[in-house]
């Protein structure tokens, strides 16, 4: 099983739609979780950390379920500018490495 697995996508949604991405991780010792965003031919950028109690940043909501080793990202009221690849990222804690999922491509259409 891969360390971090994501919905393969791609997701194509209209503007204003709500879209959710899922991610599972294999190592129960994982301690920190993040969502990164990567635009085409650009570097990954930190979108938000994921906290145990769940957290929200504007239109973005991240959830963590440690029992199921599952992370999610919900985007409400999608904008054209949300079109990007979303990377699920896990930190195990025993070292300083972040493990990245392969990403889910989102295209928001007018």
Partner 1 sequence: DAGVIQSPRHEVTEMGQEVTLRCKPISGHDYLFWYRQTMMRGLELLIYFNNNVPIDDSGMPEDRFSAKMPNASFSTLKIQPSEPRDSAVYFCASSTGANYGYTFGSGTRLTVV
**Looking at beta carbons only, is 78 or 104 nearer to partner 1?**
104
The rounded distance, in Å, linking the Cα atoms of 61 and 18 is: 11
Number of chain residues interacting with partner 1 (CB under 8 A): 22
Q: Is the dihedral of CA 16, 71, 49, 46 positive or negative?
A: negative
**β-bridge mates for residue 12, sequence order:** 107
**Shortest gap between Cβ of 80 and partner 1 (angstroms)?**
23
Among 46, 51, 59, 79, the residue binding partner 1 under the rule CB under 8 A is 46
Residues of span 70-99 touching partner 1 by CB under 8 A? 87, 89, 91, 95-99
Among 27, 49, 55, 69, the residue binding partner 1 under the rule CB under 8 A is 49
**Looking at beta carbons only, is 5 or 17 nearer to partner 1?**
5
What's the full length of the chain, in residues?
110
44 binds partner 1 (CB under 8 A): yes
CB-based contact 90:2 (threshold 8 Å): no
CB-based contact 102:24 (threshold 8 Å): no
């Amino acid at each position: 099983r891969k360390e971090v697995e994501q919905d393969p996508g791609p997701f194509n949604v209209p503007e204003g739609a709500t879209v959710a991405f899922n991610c599972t991780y294999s190592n129960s010792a994982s301690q920190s979780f993040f969502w990164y965003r990567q635009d085409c031919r650009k570097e990954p950028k930190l979108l938000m950390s994921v906290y145990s109690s769940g957290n929200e940043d504007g239109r973005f909501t991240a959830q963590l379920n440690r029992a199921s080793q599952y992370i999610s990202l919900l985007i409400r009221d999608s904008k054209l500018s949300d079109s990007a690849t979303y990377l699920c990222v896990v930190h195990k804690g025993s070292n300083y490495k972040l493990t990245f999922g392969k990403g889910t491509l989102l295209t928001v259409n007018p």
